[in-house]
Amino acid sequence: MAIIIDENTNVLVMGITGRQASFHTKQMLAYGTKIVAGCTPGKGGASVEGIPVYNTVREACENHRIDASVIFVPAPATKDAALENIEAGVGVVVIVTEGVPVYDEIEIVAYAKRKGAIILGPNTFGIVSGGKCKMGIPPNQYFIEGNVGVVARSGTLTYEITGNLTANGLGQSTVVGMGGDRAVGLTFIDVLKMFEKDDQTEAIVMIGEIGGNSEEIAAEYIKEMTKPVVAFIAGKSAPPGKRMGHAGAIIERGKGTYQGKVDALNAAGAKVAPLPFDVPQLVKEALGIK
Amino acid sequence: MKMFEYMGKELFAKYGLPVPKGRMATNPEDAAKIAAEIGGPCVVKSQVLSGKRGKAGGIKFPNTPEEAQKAAEEVLGMTIQGLPVQAILVEEKLKIDKELYMSITIDGSAKQAVLIASAYGGMDIEEQPEEYIIKRHIDPELGMKPFIARDVVRKMGVPVNSAHGKEIVKIIQILYKICLEKDAELVEINPLVFSDDKVIAADSKVTIDDDAMFRMKDLPIVDDRSPAERAAKDLGLSFVELDGEIAVMANGAGITMGTLDTLQAFGGTPKNFLDCGGGTGREATAKALDILFDLNPKAVFVNIFGGITRCDDVANAVKDQYEAKGGFPVPLVIRLVGTNQEAGREILASIGVEAFDFMEDAARRVIELAK
């Protein structure tokens, strides 16, 4: 099954004529993603990798069924692009763009909630349903089909950990990047609930980091889950008050610490990997693989 | 971007939010002049981006212009938590009947802004018992409506129809307006004071969203970064200086944190956090390496898992640095996998650098070399 996207998902690429977007359109097509349309205002009628480009999302929707969009536009234009997709009725919007102002994010997330759309990001690597569909920017070769669900806030760390899973023969149902910013569309709980219901997923890897309290909130739900959860939390060595790259990765006023998150997860019965490369062994143990 | 107290107050004043009489000065003579204009007891407050100014002796209470001049002489040039005092704020000394607390900040879990208020201000809000703190999330579609502000005032225990109550209702709405129009991720007034029938912001803490600076053309710029942080920012990279021995560069915030954690777990100490991002090209990567060597570390650790980032770009950057410096001043250990991995390794081999496959092995090696 996988969650959020699969082999039947029709994808639109927002900003498809840009340098990064056209490169990643090629990579996504190579992974098997069904990209049916692109959109760049003013570039309607063009084509990128054989994909037709439209001026507006509504125009694309008049010509194709669009299930999901992936946004590659500069930060100042991201709010408009995201709202355009949600307004047109696109159900899944993946926002790769980094550096989006937080009040823009709040507006996007609120509108998506009202319209029932799923938002990944901003500042996400995207989402991959192993062997079926990839939206976003992760390198193709590290993502294979399997029964491990992965949910994360950060990109390259997810490649590192998913790459280790793949090297250990542990494929993935879906790898979900929620985004590294403060106001992103989904929470760990939202995604854990989807994995709990998904037939293909048998174990879940949760990759968190210092800052905020979404890991602690997730721990409350993990207590009720039937499927095993293995977690890694980045930022154990981070000093308080310093923003570690991601806007959300900061220990403020004693909140969002490494230890607080690890304690909450341990208490919920999740297994916490001390270092990124300890994850595969814990997943194997959780799945009863020797 | 954090703003100095006086900048925050200037912003408040522009929006009609009451602040004490006074202004900023950078020398004792101006301080005396401002005190004379105020014509009574004053406060001289050091302007640094840190709390605990009072405890450090950075706040004084002169009664005359002469005393204000002397106070300014003492405070200007002080160092508070490592920060030199380059400016002071000279203000009227308020008659304080009561201290309250008011702020708006971002709650990432709720994906909304949140108003935090308390009838008990003046100290750190985190030290207040929960029952004294009122939190009200702000629905972005509804905004900060007068009825919400009135309800917060009620919960603070201030009569809604009193002069104070009416004033706070206005202040709450102004604060949210500032947040939206100035992309402020934090506006804090602590304390907000009752002074006879007036309500006045006795302090200000304002932080502007760095990601929104592109549309904040009319704000003053406060740059409190170290030279290395500034150099990295100019390259579009995020950098944090730490106090260990091993300089670190990785690509992505999460993996950079994971790299620092691994070093620490194995007994090493990171000298910095440098996320060279995704898709950073050869030239910028070479400059980033230069920043690392300038930190005078005992060793340099480069940890690259190439997705958008191409291994050959990174390898060429390492080679450029090697050639520019006539060899590395301290050992460099690199873990290099992902896009164009083979091409990258050939380039490294040409200067005698061997790349590791796994972060674990590379981390152990760099710690050994840093000893």
* Per-residue pLDDT tens digits for A90-124: 999 999 999 999 999 999 999 999 999 999 999 99
Beta-strand relationship, A271-272 and A229-234: parallel
Min distance A163 CA to chain B CA atoms (Å)? 10
Residue B215 confidence (pLDDT) above 90: yes
Interchain contact B260–A (C-beta under 8 A): yes
Confidence class for position A253, pLDDT limits 50, 70, 90 = low
Interchain contact A140–B (C-beta under 8 A): no
Cross-chain Cβ contact B275/A209 below 8 Å: no
The span from the CA of A134 to the CA of A254, in Å, is 38
Min distance B274 CA to chain A CA atoms (Å)? 8
Interchain contact A187–B (C-beta under 8 A): yes
Out of A114, A152, A209, the one facing B257 most closely (by C-beta) is: A209
Domains of chain B, start order: 21-92 (3.30.1490.20), 98-215 (3.30.470.20), 227-370 (3.40.50.261)
Domains of chain A, start order: 10-120 (3.40.50.720), 138-287 (3.40.50.261)
Out of A75, A107, A160, the one facing B258 most closely (by C-beta) is: A160
pLDDT in tens, B1-23: 999 999 999 999 999 999 999 99
The span from the CA of A1 to the CA of A201, in Å, is 8
Residue A212 confidence (pLDDT) above 90: no
Strands (E), B40-97: 42-46, 59-60, 79-80, 83-84, 88-92
- Written in H, E and C, the secondary structure of chain A is CCCCCCCCCEEEEECCCCHHHHHHHHHHHHHCCEEEEEECCCCCCCEECCEEEECCHHHHHHHCCCCEEEECCCHHHHHHHHHHHHHCCCCEEEECCCCCCHHHHHHHHHHHHHHCCEEECCCCCEEEECCCEEEECCCHHHCCEEEEEEEECCCHHHHHHHHHHHHCCCCEEEEEECCCCCCCCCCHHHHHHHHHHCCCCCEEEEEEECCCCHHHHHHHHHCCCCCCEEEEEECCCCCCCCCCCCCCCCCECCECCHHHHHHHHHHCCCEECCCHHHHHHHHHHHHCCC
Interface of A with B in 190-209 (CB under 8 A): 207, 209
Active-site residue flag, A24: no
pLDDT in tens, B254-296: 999 999 999 999 999 999 999 987 767 899 999 999 999 999 9
Report pLDDT for B223: 80
Q: What is the mean pLDDT of chain B?
A: 93
Confidence class for position A36, pLDDT limits 50, 70, 90 = very high
Interchain contact A157–B (C-beta under 8 A): yes
The whole-model pTM stands at 0.91
Interface of B with A in 265-284 (CB under 8 A): 265, 270, 273, 275, 278-279
Out of B250, B251, B264, the one facing A236 most closely (by C-beta) is: B264
H or E element in which residue B299 lies:
strand B299-306
Interchain contact B185–A (C-beta under 8 A): yes
Give contacts of B307 with chain A, Cβ < 8 Å: 125, 137-139, 155-156, 159
Joined together, the tokens standing for residue A243 give: 């923003």
CB B244 within 8 A of CB B271: yes
Cross-chain Cβ contact A238/B273 below 8 Å: yes
Min distance B214 CA to chain A CA atoms (Å)? 8
Give contacts of A238 with chain B, Cβ < 8 Å: 257, 260, 273
Mutate to test the interface with A, among B124, B257, B274 (most CBs of A within 10 A): B257
Give contacts of B263 with chain A, Cβ < 8 Å: 237
Confidence class for position B152, pLDDT limits 50, 70, 90 = very high
Min distance A287 CA to chain B CA atoms (Å)? 24
Rounded to two decimals, the ipTM of the complex is 0.87
Out of A214, A238, A249, the one facing B109 most closely (by C-beta) is: A214
> What count of CB pairs under 8 Å joins A to B?
171
